Chain A
Amino acid sequence: MSNKIVVFSCSWDGWSCIDAAANAGMPYPASVTVIKLPCLSGIDAGLILRALEYGADGVLLLGCQPHECRHGRYGKNIEIEFDKARQLLSLLGESSDRVRLARLDAFDGGGFIETVKSFSAALEDKARVTASTGNKS
């Protein structure tokens, strides 16, 4: 698995999933880079695009379930910025599926591994289609 994936994770339930996966010895690819944010509501379309501009193949936003948000933000801003990033990618002729949003329950290590693997597989499929047709979106 060689896709470079940047994960922006909130420091609460999102991070607990990554932590649980590590504690349980569940491996995830070395090409996955995790960046921990206090709350995923602090994410910005600019930050997502910056990761892609600097060479990431995909960006995964990993946060709590909306009703679990410890900062009382309930994830509204995440949805706005997530949609914005996807729309900008479409305008740029890139696949909007290069950004994915996942909300997991606390300590769901298996869920995190599954999410990362399915995202990576989807990116690989897309890359194969793009290579054969030249159509990115």
Chain B
Amino acid sequence: MNMQEIIRQTRAHFCLDCGKCTAVCPVNRFDPGFSPRLIVQKALSNEGGAYDDARIWSCVGCNMCTVRCNYNVSYVEMIRHLRMLSRENGTELVYSHGGVTESVMHMMGKDDIKQDRSGWLPADIQVKSPGDTAFFVGCAPYFDTIFKDLNVKLTDGTIGAMRLLNMAGIPFDLLDNERCCGHDLLLAGDSNGFVALGRNNVEELGARGIRKIITSCPECYYTLKVDYPRYVDGWNVEVIHITEVPEIFKLKGAAMKKIRAAFHDSCKLGRHFKMYDGTRNLLTSLAGAELCEMENNRENSLCCGASPWMFCGSVNKQIQDERLRQADATGADYMVTSCPKCQIHLTCAGMSGDGKYAGIKIVDLYHLAAQSLAQKDG
């Protein structure tokens, strides 16, 4: 895609140069040199070459800028297109974690791979196979291995979500060879890697006759619902988030000892889809928690400070530190999130630094809800 097309698609020509985007940008708050406004203005200028600007890699994709923009200029899309152009022009990236996530995604994109997708699955999860609805697990089993040293168990959240579906009587199948949705490759401008994953997912779903996908991961949800229809050929599957399944909310949790929970919105479910209430209802009605809102919540929620596994540096850590400070200030027992990546990044931030926020317990929403229901049954 050329610059003219990118400007048209992202509505960048509507930019009034007002600077609201930069004023609310969490990256700009700690790195004044990064400005969504200037990046768009550079793209609009006749000089071209906005994709050469190293700062396009600092954006965390939180969408705060677009939410504030009076003309709905899509900065996140602009950044993604600029990154694609930059990659096409030979930019080599600096990945965090030694590039392990990128390599795993690329290896998963190979056509002949046969993954072990069920080794972590507990025996009590009921899977209906064959069926026309699948639960899209996401990369939680891989994250458990990669981030073992953080002592996070991301599959707990996924298992919790599947238990909720089981208890609500919603049948689902699991894919033997599900690929990563490719969210992070696309956000990093790697369109070829993304399409390879998408193509394999289309084949797998087609072969199993799946017409509908339920997922609990906000990024999988966004990617499958928004990005797959426009970038992946042959995609024709209905995608719903677990909080859009009404039967879930008819479940009643146990009368547990009341816990106080600060809820952290994920950017994708929050600002991108404006889905704020489903997750909160799940937390209060099912998990029986008392909701403590943080200083920045819902539409103003602060990002977990992550970009797609790239360039994690001092600015990202400062954003995360600020988020943990906000959670700490509520005095809540738990910080609850519905996104595996938010859990990873905030846990990492809590463990690093001066250990000021090491005591904050960060848990997955679905894990907490399923635990509450299991206690009632038990």
Contact = CB atoms under 8 A, between A and B. Distances in A.
Given A46-B97, A93-B116, A137-B116, A84 B145 contact: yes
Contacts of B102: 46
Interface string B310-333: 000000000000000000000000
Nearest to A137: B116
A49 B100 contact: yes
Given A92-B113, A92-B115, A93-B116, A46 B98 contact: yes
B178 to A, nearest CB: 12
Among B97, B100, B116, the one with the most A-chain Cβ atoms within 10 Å of its Cβ is: B100
B116 A88 contact: no
A6 to B, nearest CB: 13
B357 interface: no
A80 B149 contact: yes
Interface string B84-107: 000000000001011111111011
A49 B146 contact: no
B interface bracket (residues with beta carbon within 8 Å of A) = 20 to 34
Nearest to B97: A46
Given A46-B95, A46-B98, A90-B116, A84 B104 contact: no
Interface in B211-256: none
Q: Say what secondary structure dominates the interface of chain B.
A: helix
Interface in A76-109: 80, 84, 87-88, 90-94
A54 to B, nearest CB: 9
Interface in A31-51: 44-47, 49-50
A80 B100 CA distance: 14
Contact of A53 (B95, B107, B116): B107
Contact of B145 (A47, A87, A137): A87
A47 B148 CA distance: 17
B160 interface: no
B257 interface: no
Given A90-B116, A92-B107, A92-B108, A46 B100 contact: yes
Contacts of A137: 116
B240 to A, nearest CB: 27
Interface in A88-137: 88, 90-94, 136-137
Contact of B104 (A49, A80, A93): A49
A69 interface: no
Contacts of A46: 95, 97-103
A20 interface: no
Contacts of A94: 107, 113
A92 B148 contact: no
A1 B79 CA distance: 47
A1 to B, nearest CB: 24
14 contacts: A44-B97, A44-B99, A45-B100, A45-B146, A46-B98, A49-B103, A50-B103, A52-B103, A91-B116, A91-B119, A91-B142, A91-B145, A92-B113, A94-B113
